[in-house]
Amino acid sequence: MSVATVLAEEGHNVTVVVTQIPKVNHERINTVLIPPVAEKEASLHKRLSELAKKKINFWNSLQKYFSIMRLLNDMEMDALQDERFAQLYDNPGTKFDLVILGYCFNSFQFGVAAKLNTPLMLSWMFGPAHFINDYVGNPNEIAYVPHMNMALEPGKRMNFAERLQNFLGSIIIDTLHEILDYCNQHFYNQVFPNDGIFPTYQEMKNNVSLIFCNSHFTEGPIRPNVPAIIEIGGIQVKDKPDPLPEDISFFLDESKIHGAILFCLGSGLISDYIKPDVIKTVFQVLSNLKQNVIWKWDDLTNTPGISQNIIYKQWIPQDDILAHPNLKLFITHAGKGGVAEAQYHGVPMVALPLFGDQDSNAAKVVTSGYGLELDVLNLTNDQLRFAINEVLVNPFYRENVQQFSRLYRDRPLTARQSVAFWTNYVIRNHGAAHMQSPLVHMNFIQSVNIDVIASLGIVSYIIYKIFMLLACYILSKILKNFPKSNLSSRKQKKNQ
């Protein structure tokens, strides 16, 4: 909702299709609520819970993630075919200037922009990656740009082993993407007409105007980007924090001496994702700290325990809490949004990743010196207590993350200003086709000059063969004449 809020504040009338009622709204935002099918939502939670509670090998993990993405595709398909959504894009009287699609492997929904006859932009929750680069011709430079799940320091040159890992990982990612793309094309052809007039699936993929990426170059990796990639890392962070709810504000203000800790494992987390013994361990450690703790917990009727230094909240204004000067530590699942907010406000972290990109996000926190990572499946009291005390007491972590915060904030336009400018730019310039890279319309063979190299190789081979044939012909003529001339000279000598 961050992008929608920015555009509403800029004076645009924004219609947002959501699966749940947003916590924050705006008078210029019209929300169309389409709840997911209950059975599929339950299945999704079950699969995520299985991932969070048990370590599995790479191939099983890949299989599970693929099944989750297929399930998400099904849920997104349900939303697209829902009457409430269809009324927006199938109604001839509906007028929009632009479609911004939250991208989560749902390229079959690109056809909505064609239905509404508007430019198409994407909003992607991560940095530039294989999954979205092809839509705008952004290069995949795998020799020096690690894929999104590799945790390397920004600007660090990969050694041979890391480049090999990156190469193989990129092949796996590209293969997975091709399979998902095949499924997306099938969905697209189901919903949108295939009459020779309406744009084909491939044509829609080739007509993405611009992509917002929730990243910033200071996070790394250092890489080239085409003009149609706009980094808006920290878009969810407000330019000025909102006033906190009264009870939270009082709780934090009273934490001047020892400071406060925020414990939050994600806005979408339910307690079933974490094993009960882990919850017990966390409570035992946090309840014995001298710091006050704000614990985000989904079921306030069944909390882990009662302690004078802990308050539980079903929903929290996370960004505003992290901005409070008395907040000294963030215990997080290392989701992309939470890590970005902590980095922006210069708050060190203890990461307890559960699944997905969280493992690599947590590894990057450790690599960058912003905090420590613990294995949530094998968590002990001593490990958690040590990690909390280490990050709180050792200035190394706070100094590193605060130095990063200064770099992260130092930009010509804030993330919100970038969203406002580039959205208006695409609307003003009717899709901004002049920004499109030629790479969008090139296949792999053309993009890496295989056809050019092959042509030069063939021509060189032909020239080489012609040269060799000529050389052999000339040499044979020379050798053929050489014995005759030599014999005649000998005969002349004898006669003399």
Q: Is the pLDDT of residue 143 over 80?
A: yes
Task: Give long-range contacts, CB 8 A cutoff, 24+ apart: 402-406.
Answer: 402/346, 404/218, 404/343, 404/346, 404/368, 404/370, 405/343, 405/344, 405/345, 405/346
pTM, entire model: 0.88
Residues 374 and 417 in one domain: no
Same domain, 230 and 377: no
* Same-domain status, 183 and 80: yes
User: What is the tens place of the pLDDT at every residue in 95-117?
Assistant: 899 999 999 889 999 999 999 99
Residue 119 has pLDDT above 80, yes or no: yes
The answer to whether residue 475 is domain-embedded is: yes
Which tens digits make up the pLDDT trace of 198-226? Answer: 999 999 999 999 999 999 999 989 999 99
Q: What is the pLDDT of residues 431-442, one digit of tens each?
A: 999 999 999 999
| 359-364 mean pLDDT | 91
CA atoms within 13 A on the CB side of 66: 17
For the domain that residue 152 is a member of, what is the CATH number? 3.40.50
**Same-domain pairing of 417 and 402:** no
**Model pLDDT, residue 496:** 57
Kindly state whether residues 277 and 369 are assigned to the same domain.
Answer: yes
Check whether residue 161 and residue 17 sit in a common domain. yes
Does residue 487 sit within a domain? Answer: no
Same domain for 221 and 87: yes
**Residue 58 clears pLDDT 70, i.e. is over it:** no
Paired residues of 101 in beta bridges: 122
| pLDDT for 368 | 92
28-47: pLDDT as tens digits: 999 999 988 888 888 888 88
What's the pLDDT at 46?
83
Q: Among 444, 467, 488, which residue terminates a domain?
A: 444
Same domain, 345 and 453: no
pLDDT recorded at residue 489: 58
CA separation for the pair 184, 8 (Å, rounded): 31
Regarding predicted confidence, which is higher, 64 or 312? 312
pLDDT value of position 484:
56
Q: Does residue 496 fall inside a structural domain?
A: no
The reported pLDDT for the residue numbered 153 is 78
**For residue 334, what pLDDT is reported?**
92
Looking at per-residue pLDDT, the higher value among 389 and 37 belongs to 389
Who's near 11: CB < 8 A, 6+ residues apart? 28
Contacts for 223 with CB less than 8 Å, ≥ 6 apart: 128, 141, 144, 145
pLDDT reported for residue 233:
93
Could you report the per-residue pLDDT of 184-193, keeping only the tens digit for each?
Answer: 999 999 989 8
pLDDT given at position 156: 83
CA distance 14 to 289: 45
The confidence band for 357, taking pLDDT boundaries of 50, 70 and 90, is confident
Which of 77-91, 210-224, 250-264 bottoms out in mean pLDDT, i.e. has the lowest?
Answer: 77-91
Q: Is residue 429 part of a domain?
A: yes
Are 384 and 425 part of one and the same domain?
no
Question: Which residue carries 């060189």 as its tokens?
Answer: 460
Whole domain around residue 455: which residue ranges? Answer: 447-479
Confidence at residue 271, expressed as pLDDT on a 0 to 100 scale? 61
Question: Rounded to whole angstroms, how far apart are CA atoms 329 and 321?
Answer: 11
Q: How many domains does the chain have?
A: 3
Residue 456 and residue 433 share a domain: no
CATH code (residue 333): 3.40.50.2000
The answer as to whether 60 is a domain residue is yes
Look at residue 486 and tell me if it is in a domain: no
Answer whether 336's CB lies under 8 Å from 148's CB: no
d(CA 115, CA 341): 36
At 270 the pLDDT is 59
Do 140 and 176 fall into the same domain? yes
Beta-sheet strand order (sheet of 208-213): 99-102, 120-124, 208-213, 229-231
Average pLDDT for the chain: 90
**Is 86 inside a domain boundary?**
yes
Please report the pLDDT score of residue 485 as a whole number.
Answer: 54
Whether residue 494 is predicted with pLDDT greater than 60 in this model: the reply is no
302 in the same domain as 221: no
Task: Summarize the confidence of residues 46-51 as an average pLDDT.
Answer: 80
Helix 160-191 to helix 58-81 angle (10° resolution) is 30
Whether the per-residue pLDDT at 495 is higher than 70: the answer is no
The pLDDT confidence band at residue 446, using thresholds 50, 70 and 90, is very high
Q: What is the pLDDT of residue 220?
A: 87
Lowest mean pLDDT among 251-260, 349-358, 421-430, 486-495: 486-495
Q: Give the model's pLDDT for residue 299.
A: 84
pLDDT for the residue 477: 83
Please check the confidence at residue 269 and state whether its pLDDT lies above 70.
no
